[in-house]
A and B are shown apart, each in its own frame.
Chain A
Amino acid sequence: MDAVVIRSLDPLIGELRSRGYTVVGPVSRDEVIRMSEIDAESDLPAGLTDEQAPGRYRLGPAGDGMFFGFAASPDSAKRFTQPPSRTLFRMHGETVEEPEEPAPKVALLGIRACDLAALAVQDRVFLGGRHPDPGYRRRRENLFLVAVNCAVPGGTCFCVSMGTGPRATSGYDLALTELAGPHRFVAEAGGERGAEILRLLPHDPATEADLHAAREVSRCAAEHMGRSVDTDGIKERVASAPESPQWQEVASRCLTCANCTMVCPTCFCTTVEDFTDLGDGTAGRTERWDSCFTLGFTEVGGAPVRGSGAARYRQWLTHKFSTWFDQFGTSGCIGCGRCITWCPVGIDVTEELAKLR
């Protein structure tokens, strides 16, 4: 199906809701953009934009009526594909029960190209190996993805360097490019699931001028990346630097707080917690997000392997930019810049990579 122009998102939101999807989109809350359930396009943060820099995030007026005039928020699709916490099983004596895996039908409205790339990375982790995660698969299949092409990259964005954006090229059901004067969206279907819905919405055929304007949005965004990374030979460059003094230097600033891993859309590490019902003695396990920045993350015989912050930062950065290729055949970084923005001391991974040269 060819690209079309739609004037309002409400018919799309209504159609998705009528198909049983909870529509989740960006909303302004607590002075940040969060991904939350929306009922109508009026819930979207119209006219807001963000200012992002190392250790800094500010939401403010943009002076326009655009719905998607901001970059990556601390939330990503990870929250929906890999919930922060899930109960794995309960066991009582020899009886084992598996609670229903949460796999709600969710339509993510406004997912960006970098986060689509992050989903593809996560797919390789949880579906591409010898032990696919059936829960992840169901949650993933129940996601309907409405991408929005970035118009205003953040100051910490570097998707162009990582080859993941700013334009969504695959992995979506629908992709929108928001245009002004008049306010409208060029909409493209990424497959039959999207096309089926798009046909039902009030739309006009996209003119050559509309398509040109949409391409200009992406071209312009690509020229305004806040950061860049030289990815040439990056896997080998990082792998060959385990003894670099740079790790000690960054560790003198790093708080090992794990913020970077919590906001990262590809960080997948988890731990488990055990509980026992005091009433009947039923035991159970919960899986929750974990971080390689925690002291006891990797242990031998109960003693931490990476006792120093330097070793933990090295583990994280090396995994993202080098050993991820060994394990999953891709980069673990998709260039969203969240780890830079949400680092409380403003450590900039692109700077650290440059210093490793």
Chain B
Amino acid sequence: MTAQAVPGTASQAVPGTVPGTVPETVPETVPPPWPQTRPGPAPEPAPRARPMTPAPYRVRSRRPDRADTVTLSLEPVRGRCAPALPGQFTMLYAAGVGEVPMSVSGRTRHGGYVHTVRAVGAVSEALCAKRPGEIIGVRGPFGTAWDLAAAEGLDVVVAAGGLGIAPLRPLVRELLRRRSGYGRISVIMGTRTPATLVYARELAHWREYGLDVQVTVDHPDPADAGWTGPVGLVTRLIDRVVFQPRSTFAYVCGPEPMMRATAAELTRRGVAPERVELSIERNMKCGIGWCGHCQLGPLMLCLDGPVVNYGRVAHLLAVREL
């Protein structure tokens, strides 16, 4: 573990830069802001296919994040992939095994998609096992995006539980790209143990850019005596970051109990429910409103989500087994 949260400290500034602004010259190790603006002619449209037919993508790179999680860079075999907004998802297909919705975590330098996949079932296991050069089917991107405009001029709290950071990563990069348009930006993140933290390097870079990044763990790994940060639920980090509740916008993604607790705590402190967005997960067979599996009350989360406004869904999340 190279990067860990130092409890209670303000974010570190990159030497020679003003804290809270994105430096003009991006250090070599920092990937370009997301999404990348591409020079040159407009992308050629991908070959027309039926909505349920995936396009073949090739695994360009595969980076294990931890024991059960890998980050894959995928690039289309033919044509270019459609632009994805922060928060949107694609349907990833492992031939012969199945297809699952997966948040887009970024774009590659060559215009592909970056996905961080955790092996939790047959399909995600098959996806995690894909090596560079192998084929994955991709449809999308689909769904709603984080509302970046709604947070302009406000303080921003980004709260992630575990791999909930995956769809938030492109959001944070976009916030950094438009840094001057927002007030204080804090990233609070909970993870099971220090060893299950993903994007550790990225979190360190965000600190370098002046974001207040705080990490808590459920259980400090007894084998890892190096953890000196907070222990407990991510909601406890709300106390550790500075924001003006009445002028704050929050983006939250993680397990549903974590999102409910975080949204409830933020609104208890005065953040308007309409200024909290969540990204809700359900299984999907189509991603396009045909299969019916991802319904949450009136919502079809493939079309009306995954990003939803807490003010509009709080009453739905309160119903058991909905």
Chain A residues at the B interface, C-beta cutoff of 8 Å: 88-89, 91, 93-96, 98, 101, 125-126, 129-131, 133-135, 239, 242-243, 268-272, 274-276, 281, 283, 285, 287, 290, 292, 296-302, 305-308, 310-311, 315, 318-319, 322-323, 326-327
Contacts and interface: CB of A to CB of B under 8 A. Distances in A.
Contacts of A323: 295, 297-298
Nearest to A243: B319
B295 to A, nearest CB: 7
Given A89-B53, A274-B98, A94 B321 contact: no
A241 B95 CA distance: 42
Interface string B43-62: 00000011111111010000
A271 B51 CA distance: 15
B52 A283 contact: no
Interface stretch (B29-37, B175-183, B284-292): B284-292
Contact of A88 (B50, B289, B295): B50
Interface residues of B, number: 43
A268 B319 contact: no
Contact of A298 (B56, B77, B295): B295
A300 B54 contact: no
Interface string B239-267: 00000000000000001100000000000
A130 B288 contact: yes
The secondary-structure label for the interface of chain A is mixed
Contact of B96 (A135, A271, A275, A318): A275
Contacts of B96: 274-276, 281, 283
Contact of B283 (A98, A131, A298, A315): A298
A315 B293 CA distance: 11
Contact of A135 (B50, B93, B282, B289): B50
A89 B295 contact: no
Contacts of A242: 319, 322
A270 B49 contact: no
Nearest to B51: A131
Contacts of A89: 50, 52-54
Given A96-B55, A276-B96, A302 B120 contact: yes
A298 to B, nearest CB: 6
B50 A270 contact: no
Interface of B: 49-56, 58, 77, 93, 95-99, 120-121, 135, 137, 255-256, 281-283, 285-286, 288-295, 297-298, 300, 303, 319-322
A103 to B, nearest CB: 13
Contact of A270 (B58, B283, B285): B285
15 contacts: A94-B135, A129-B289, A134-B50, A242-B322, A271-B293, A274-B98, A275-B96, A283-B95, A285-B99, A287-B52, A290-B292, A300-B256, A306-B321, A308-B321, A315-B322
A290 B322 contact: no
Nearest to B302: A131
Contacts of A299: 282-283, 293
Q: Top 10 closest A-B pairs, CB basis?
A: A326-B298, A269-B292, A311-B321, A283-B96, A131-B288, A276-B96, A283-B95, A94-B56, A323-B298, A299-B283
B53 A96 contact: yes
Contacts of A274: 96-98
Most chain A CB within a 10 A radius of its CB, from B54, B55, B96, B288: B96
A134 B288 CA distance: 13
Contacts of A239: 297-298
A138 to B, nearest CB: 11
Contacts of B135: 91, 93-94
A88 B285 CA distance: 12
A195 B285 CA distance: 42
Contacts of A275: 96
A131 B285 CA distance: 14
Given A96-B137, A272-B99, A305-B322, 5 more contacts: A125-B290, A131-B288, A270-B292, A274-B96, A319-B295
Nearest to B291: A270
